[in-house]
Structure formats: structure tokens, C-alpha cells
Amino acid sequence: MVVHERLQQILASQNLLFEQGRMYALLGPSGSGKTTLLNLLAGLDSPTFGSVQLNDQFDLLDMKPEKKMWYRQQVVGMVFQFHYLVQELTALENILLPAQIVGSDEQKNNKRALELLEFVGLAARKNAYPATLSGGERQRVALARALMNNPRFVLADEPTGSLDPQNARQVKDLLLAAVQKYKSCVIVATHDFELFSGSDIERVEL
């Protein structure tokens, strides 16, 4: 994904390239534009001028509403600081939601959701409701939900911001594992410079 954009004083003259199969950490103080950049990549916001391109095939700014909806449903998966799970649904049902919106094969979807529960270490908690899960478990369910439609890009906005250090490391490790296992491009906005460091994470300073 290539991003060429300039958004007044929030993001100025940025020219960024994000590639699949890699993990990026967007670093910078509050107000530097980390969340704004994620919203641009997700097609939720539009820059004042410039472009947001996917594989040089099309520009998000030129997408019709129905095409942009497809993009957000099947190309991008999102994880936030708060899990935003549906309280009335079990862990398994929450993970299935993105696939149900798209309307794909139910049997295939159930199999993938169970595989994702195994991936995040919560296979035994598939029938648990969010109120009975710990904060770390809820965030892992949210990550599995983001991966449900096998997105090319996972955008995570402060995904460890409300977690204790142990759960934060676990979520970070799962994001890295998603890069390896599913070949996703994972882009994380974070204040935690120390947690999201290492040779396997490319740092992007804003």
C-alpha cells in the first residue's frame, strides 16, 4: 500500500510504503497523526489532497461507496484500544460477525473462526461471553475478529494501551504471528516505543 497525502498540520508531506508480510509501528506523541493515518488507510478519512493507493490498482479517494465498503470488509481488519465486542454474543459469535456481514459460506466460516480461536489461545473459551473474559482475552478475541475475513492489512490503534504488561506482550506477539502465519501487513499505532521494537518491526516516526 502506498500513501501520498498531506492533511493540513496533522500529517504533512508524508510518502509512505507499507508491504504485506511485514509489521510496522507508527510512533509519535499525541497529536502527531497516528490515528489519522490509520483512518486514511482504512478509508474512513480522506486527505485534503494527495492519494491513498492499494497496490497501484486504485485510489481510495476515487472509490465509490460500495467499493469502499468492500475494501473495509475484506481488505482491512481493525483492532482498537477498546475491544468493542458485542456483549450478547459469545467469543465465537463475535469472531464470526465480519464473515456474516459479507455473507460467505457458513461451514467454512465456522471452521476459520475456530482456527482463529486456537490461534489466539482461546479455543476453550469459545462459548464465553465478553463479561466473563479478562481484558487480555477480550482483546485477543477482537484480534481474531479482525483476522476473520483474511484481510491483507490489519490496522491496530493502541491495541495494548489498556492492557497490563504481560497481556500487552501477548497481543504484540500475536500481531507478529499474524504477519508470519497469514502474511498480513500489520500497522500499529502506539505510544509504547519499547514494546514495539525489534528487528522484526519497522518503526515509522510521525
d(CA 44, CA 40): 6
We report the CATH number of the domain holding residue 179 as 3.40.50.300
Mean model confidence pLDDT for the chain: 87
Question: What are the pLDDT digits (tens) for 172-200?
Answer: 999 999 999 999 899 999 988 889 988 89
Number of domain units in the chain: 1
Question: What are the pLDDT digits (tens) for 43-92?
Answer: 888 777 777 777 666 677 778 888 888 888 888 999 998 899 999 999 99
Q: In Å, what is the CA distance from 91 to each residue of 15, 18, 158, 166? A: 39, 31, 21, 21
For the entire predicted model, the pTM comes to 0.88
Domain housing 101: 2-205
Residue with cell 465509490: 64
Residue with cell 464465553: 128
